[in-house]
Every structure is written in C-alpha cells, then in structure tokens.
C-alpha cells in the first residue's frame, strides 16, 4: 500500500502561513555540528524526512541527538565515533555528503558511500573531491565508498570551476581545521552558505567574506558548542507565495527574509500579481486581471532559483500567452512538465527550456512527484485544477516541506492522504 496526497481543487485560500526553517541550510548545519567538541543546540529545525535521516546518521556515529519541542535539536558530538557511513540512511539524501567535509576536517579521515537524493540529471561531486585534494587529502573509491585520508590538511587557494553550493560548504567545513589560510574563489553566494558559515563562526571558526564570491577561512585548532537559529526557508516561502498568487483572496506569508526572494518577487510582479512586501512578510491579494506570460532563466543566487521554477511553471499555465523557462543549473529538471500535461497543461520541452502555452484549464489526474520540487509544482497545479488530483511518491515532498498538509488545510485547501494499492 502506498500513501498518496489527494487535493480537491478550486477552493480559494485565505489566512496566514508561517514559513519553517531552511531545509537547504539545515541539511548542512546538522553535519557541521560534528566539527564541535561540545554540544550544539539548533532552533528552527523543520520537521522533514531529510532531518530524520540525518538524525539516524548522527546516532550511527554515536552522536547524541535530542529533539526538544517542535523545532529544536540538541546535538552532542562529545563521544563521536568516526565509523564508515554505509547505511541505507546515506542513500536517502544527497546532503549526507556533507559528512565528508565535516569528518575529514575533524578526524583527517572519512569513509562514506555515494549519497542519494532526487535525480535531476548528472550531479557529480568532483568539485568537492578536488577541493579536498587541494587541502592535502588523498581519495580512493572502493566498493561503492569514498575513502578520504589526510595526515594534515593545509590551507590553500581553491578556484571552483562552477559556483557549487555543495562544494563551497563541504570545502569550507574541511578547511576550518586546516593549517593556515584557505581561500575559495568563485564560491557560491546562497544565503544558506552564509548560515553555515555563521554557525561555524559562533563555534569558533574564522570565516570571512560570506555572501561574496571569495571565502577566506583561517584554520583553528578547536571548535566549541553554541546555540543557533536557522534562517527561514526561502524556497518554501516562494512556493507559498506562488500558491497565494494562484488561489488566494488575501494571504500572508510570514517569517521570511524578502531580500532572499527578490528574483521571485520581481517575476510575480511582472506576471501581474498584487502584493505587499513587509520587513518579514509578504501579503498577496487576489488578482482579477489576466496573468501575463514571462520568461524565466534559472541562475545561482541572487538569480532566479532552480528550486522555484517547477512551482512557478504550474502558475504560468494560467498566464494568457506563451512563457519560457530555461534551466541552467539542472538541465533535466523538466519531469514535472509531463505530469502537468496530464492535468491539461500545454507544455513543450526542448532541453534546456520548456515552453508553456497558456492559458489552459487544469483538471484533476493521477500524477507522480518525481522529485521534491516537482511535487511542489503538482500541489500548485492541483489547487488550481477542477476535480481531485492524486499525487503519488509523496515521500519526495515530505523531504522538504514541513507540515504541508496542515498549513494548506489551515488556509482553506481541501487536502488529505489515502492509502492506495
């Protein structure tokens, strides 16, 4: 038996939704805690399956993990044991690769099998490995596992061929204990990187240049514990803003950082969405005028986030005219288009772009969430569609959206889960 999400479309939404802590920051912050010699307490942790998988991995390393309240994790790595990470939990999420940098930094050794996660086309980790080698590590691949060793990590200058978020974070974590200074050029600038660097600095690291393309890390001998609160999830926030644009009469999205959403806000204004941007909230109002088509080009931050293009594509099926989405990060990130077409959309895919021919009437259908953000796009479409949509493989959605069901129901959506054969 499989659990599916069913959504009856056509119900107008009203009210306030509070955004949870950042999924993309959390999945790196948790592995970063093993760099500390004392307990770390993290606030604002989202209740998602990726976090549950990371808790299992910590416990396998003999790290004490306690959940306190709804969104607080107490992590005590005092008695950590650096054992090979080969369990099924590693395969459930791509972010398990952050243990490479963390364990290599702290112990000079890490052994981990190839991480899992959503398939979005080729996602090699060669930039991570090249960075570790530049710091002085040797890397072998045996029986499906990466084995990293270093008698001593030494600071150096590293240039990333691509401004990869994962590689930037992983190299940064390994470098905090390296001897001397490490400089990462063409570093990614995403807010989540600033969040991880800020946590590490609170633990005693010396990282400079956060938010720029040049990160400078001066190695230290010891990191201690601290208390830390995660930034709000900008992708979850964008998803709910798009949901509001699609179906709300008057909806407030709170606990956000508007600066992190500027590219999305600009595009929504271009298509004709009426909204008010506050210091830590956005209020979206019903738009009576037809939505205008637009062109989207995904880019690294501060450009339009690749994680937002799938839910935005669903909204653009209701624009009067032809829209284009061009994907520059993950070229194969168009599996949602086939599913949206099952619901009545008219989308042509010619990689690396898709062409949305609007406006089309959407209807309920049986569809599959092929990855996390595809699932978000299908939820947006289902809320707009006539009839009932049945979404399969919802475990992808649960990887990144905290209490999706409860938040949408509180806003007036008709949504429930059922077991089906």
Across 194-219, average pLDDT: 98
pLDDT surpasses 90 at 90: no
Per-residue pLDDT at 243: 98
Task: Read off the pLDDT of residues 137-188 as tens digits, 9 standing for 90 and up.
Answer: 999 998 888 999 999 999 999 999 999 999 999 999 999 999 999 999 999 9
117: pLDDT strictly greater than 60: no
Give residue 89's pLDDT: 82
124 falls in which pLDDT band (50, 70, 90)? low
pLDDT, one tens digit per residue, over 343-365 is: 999 999 999 999 999 899 999 99
In the 8-state DSSP scheme, what is residue 291?
B
- For residue 23, say whether it is annotated as part of any ligand binding site: yes
Q: What mean pLDDT do residues 234-246 have?
A: 98
Q: What was the pLDDT predicted at 230?
A: 98
How confident is the model over 5-13, as a mean pLDDT? 98
- Residue 126, annotated ligand binder? yes
- 127 labeled part of a ligand binding site: yes
Tens digits of per-residue pLDDT, 277-322? Answer: 999 999 999 988 999 999 999 999 999 999 999 999 999 999 999 9
**Which of the two residues, 330 and 306, has the higher pLDDT score?**
306
- Pick the catalytic residue from 118, 337, 354, 374: 118
Model pLDDT, residue 116: 58
Q: Can you give the pLDDT at residue 94?
A: 80
The model's confidence at residue 421, banded by pLDDT at 50, 70 and 90, is confident
Ligand-binding annotation for 12, yes or no, is: no
Residue 118 catalytic?
yes
Domains, the chain, with CATH or none: 2-20+232-420 (3.65.10.10), 23-229 (3.65.10.10)
């Amino acid at each position: 038996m499989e659990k599916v999400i069913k959504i009856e479309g056509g119900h107008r939404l009203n009210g306030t939704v509070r955004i949870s802590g950042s999924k993309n920051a959390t999945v790196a912050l948790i592995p970063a805690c093993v760099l500390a010699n004392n307990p770390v307490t993290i606030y604002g942790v989202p209740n998602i399956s990726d976090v549950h998988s990371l808790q299992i991995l910590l416990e396998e390393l003999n790290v004490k993990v306690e959940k306190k309240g709804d969104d607080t994790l107490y992590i005590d790595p005092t008695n950590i044991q650096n054992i090979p990470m080969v369990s099924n939990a590693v395969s459930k999420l791509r972010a398990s690769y952050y243990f490479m940098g963390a364990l290599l930094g702290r112990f000079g050794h890490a052994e981990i099998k190839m991480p899992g996660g959503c398939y979005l086309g080729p996602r090699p980790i060669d930039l991570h490995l090249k960075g570790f080698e530049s710091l002085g590590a040797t890397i072998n691949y045996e029986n499906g596992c990466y084995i990293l060793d270093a008698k001593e990590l030494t600071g150096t200058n590293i240039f990333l061929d691509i401004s990869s978020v994962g590689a930037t974070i992983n190299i940064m974590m390994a470098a905090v204990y390296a001897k001397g200074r490490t400089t990462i050029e063409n570093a990614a600038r995403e807010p989540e990187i600033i969040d991880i660097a800020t946590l590490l600095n609170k633990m005693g690291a010396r990282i400079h240049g956060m938010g720029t393309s040049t990160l400078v890390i001066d190695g230290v001998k010891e990191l201690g514990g601290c208390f830390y609160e995660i930034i709000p999830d900008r992708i979850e926030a964008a998803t709910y803003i798009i949901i509001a644009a699609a179906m709300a009469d008057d909806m407030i999205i709170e606990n956000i950082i508007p600066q992190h959403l500027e590219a999305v806000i600009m595009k929504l204004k271009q298509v004709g969405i009426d909204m008010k941007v506050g210091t830590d909230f956005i209020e979206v109002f019903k738009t009576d005028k037809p939505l205008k088509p637009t062109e989207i080009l995904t880019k690294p931050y501060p450009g339009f986030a690749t994680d937002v293009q799938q839910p935005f594509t669903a909204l653009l099926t209701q624009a009067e005219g032809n829209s284009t989405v061009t994907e520059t990060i993950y070229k194969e990130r168009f599996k949602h288009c086939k599913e949206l077409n099952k619901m009545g959309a008219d989308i042509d895919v010619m990689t690396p772009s898709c062409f949305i021919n609007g406006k089309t009437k959407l209807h309920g259908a049986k569809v599959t969430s092929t990855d996390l953000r595809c699932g978000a796009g299908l939820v947006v479409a289902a809320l707009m569609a006539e009839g009932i949509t049945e979404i399969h493989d919802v475990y992808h959605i649960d990887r990144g959206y905290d209490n999706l069901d409860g938040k949408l129901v509180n806003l007036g959506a008709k949504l429930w889960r059922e077991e089906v054969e």
